[in-house]
Chains A and B, each alone.
Chain A
């Protein structure tokens, strides 16, 4: 292993010399962010390579308005909120699910199936599943929506916060940060959508896109491949995660998403409203849409805390550049979502190296 690492390091060194400038590479996957920090990968790279943690953590990209709706629903006596673990600590405008937990019925789930089961076990309550995540978790939500429809399970609904990765990457490059030189593309998402999905980024923006897995070796070799392309003035699509990712992806999962959801414009933290970047339930399943069920209208919420998670997610600043980082905003009392999830950029910076890592 060390030999391969050495080889990749040599390649990166050579590329940095050729280019003679800083190379900005963005990862758009929370698991990559954590793996990079947990393995100390930054400390093994040439100084000229700067890694940016983009909008890849489902908790981090979820906007304040959505959290506030969840918190409002949690106040209702007739609702049980079923959520993935990291969501419970994200602060909304007034508290988080964790602080509301003693008064509200909030259950942490590992899967959407558990949420549907919860509805079966509690026929006198409505279970609202906080359906967040990218293309990785959307198929699992689709499965339970279909199941709920078949079983006519009327006390179950979802608040869809599902998001699509590629539209966010486009919006980033087009409107927020054109300094991003290349993307280390997400492994899990690519399993579902296929590496072919990133072709449009390569073609329309001339940025190298390399799909890698989560072993440190994969990440380092992925970064080396990006450096090779940049030093040769190329922008190509490549997957080195051959064990799990194909060009077309998991078509069954894609069909499940297409059957239940349709792309809709939606809000992202830091990125604002992005066209066709979120998943909304199709009309035939709209009775499972919590927004319709409870007659809620989404209203944009202004973040007034001074939190700079949005800029972090766009790769415009590193977490320590936010005035709140490490003082008002720490994992125990997070101000912004990037400090909440273990996969958030701020939490990873705080946990694994606020003193020594670049």
Chain B
């Protein structure tokens, strides 16, 4: 193959001509070898072993592109896998769309593509279709990625808000805030030295095992943007039930706690990329906890609370470590570092 003369992405790489072809054949195809993709059809044809499918999509715009514990590529694969996983599906195939800003170094693109390939391989998920576009310098933040994912519904599993009932227990699969605090700490305008590491990981192997081995899982969600607070508030809002949690039982990495305190952030509002919340029937809570704790991605799993009847308005209420109580509100979008 002819050597690429360019070391950066040009607008022409998205123009549909020679350079586009070179970008796809030289950089993308070799990394994602599979029968569905090889002949570059307009649409992938898949043979699946179930006709109940889960289908999801998500776009990734993280800054910086590379952070301790992951990068935008790994995130784009794991994030979409996780959306399928918490819906009770086994992830099968992903699409991959790249929106690349003119001027992005090929070396950076290659690192991201390698990471995507590795994450897809590790999780036995194929990239079966895709697209690349380029935009003018300044119109994007180096690269934006969209992935859509298809999964087959795990047999006998139906999850949903409507299954949740008073008395159900809430399990959290591990520490919170790791991803969000890592990314914030490595942002150019904030940057401080820490030992933080993103929890970016694909959860399908853990959720799959949980759903295979127990029958009491009623609902799962990965607390990404908005953190644990957003997920619990969504549960309360959709079910009109009250969510009670205990601060002392929520696992938080001490470095994450310290960094969040320093910036004045509430760790409950900080994003996670490798955790899930599961609402389970009370009789199988211990089993679920054990399964999580015996899996590498759920070692610090904890029972953090329960669902109760609502007396006034449905809300999320937290018993604090000192024996007080407070309401956990839906976060309002953007955490700002405080002044002193």
Q: Is the interface of B mostly helix, strand, loop or mixed?
A: loop
Q: Is the CB of A39 within 8 A of B321?
A: yes
Q: Does B325 contact A (CB under 8 A)?
A: yes
In the complex where A107-B189, A114-B189, A352-B329 touch, is A58 in contact with B339 (Cβ < 8 A)? Answer: yes
Of residues 171 through 216 on chain B, the ones whose CB sits less than 8 Å from some CB of chain A are: 189-190, 192
Closest chain-B Cβ to A87's Cβ sits at a distance in Å of: 8
Contact A353 B326 (CB under 8 A): yes
CB-based contact A5/B326 at 8 Å: no
Is B140 interfacial (CB-CB < 8 Å)? no
Complex CA distance for A39 and B327, rounded to whole angstroms:
10
Instruction: Assess A40 versus B338: contact at CB under 8 Å? Given A110-B190, A332-B332.
Output: no
- Chain A neighbourhood of B296, CB < 8 A: none
Partner of A86, one of B266, B312, B322, B336: B336
CA distance A114 to B329 in the complex (A): 33
Q: Number of B interface residues, CB 8 Å?
A: 30
CB-contacts of A1-44 with B (<8 A)? 1-2, 5, 30-31, 34, 37-44
Interface residues of A in 300-358 (CB under 8 A from B): 330-332, 341-343, 350-357
A285 contacts partner chain B, Cβ-Cβ < 8 Å: no
* Bound Cα distance from A34 to B262, whole angstroms: 13
Asked if residues A357 and B326 are in contact (CB atoms below 8 Å), the reply is: yes
B30 at the interface (CB under 8 A from A): no
Over the window 196-234 of chain A, the binary record of Cβ atoms lying under 8 Å from chain B Cβ atoms (1 yes, 0 no) is 000000000000000000001100100000000000000
Contact between B266 and A38 (Cβ–Cβ < 8 Å)? yes
Report the separation of the CA atoms of residues A30 and B339 in the bound assembly, to the nearest whole angstrom: 10
Q: Is B264 an interface residue (CB 8 A)?
A: yes
**CB contact under 8 A between A43 and B340, given known A34-B264, A107-B189, A343-B264:** no
What is the bound-complex CA distance between A31 and B265, given in angstroms? 11
Q: A191: shortest Cβ distance to chain B, in Å?
A: 10
With known contacts A40-B322, A107-B189, A353–B336 Cβ distance under 8 A:
no
**Minimum distance in angstroms from A55 CB to a CB of chain B:** 14
- Interface residues as binary, B124-161 with A (CB distance below 8 Å gives 1, 0 otherwise): 00000000000000000000000000000000000000
CB distance from B248 to the nearest CB of A (A): 11
A105 CB → nearest B CB, Å: 13
Binding site for B on A (CB under 8 A): 1-2, 5, 30-31, 34, 37-44, 58-59, 84-89, 107-110, 114, 132-134, 136-137, 188, 216-217, 220, 330-332, 341-343, 350-357
Residue positions of B touching A, CB distance < 8 A: 189-190, 192, 263-266, 312-313, 315, 317-327, 329, 332-333, 335-340
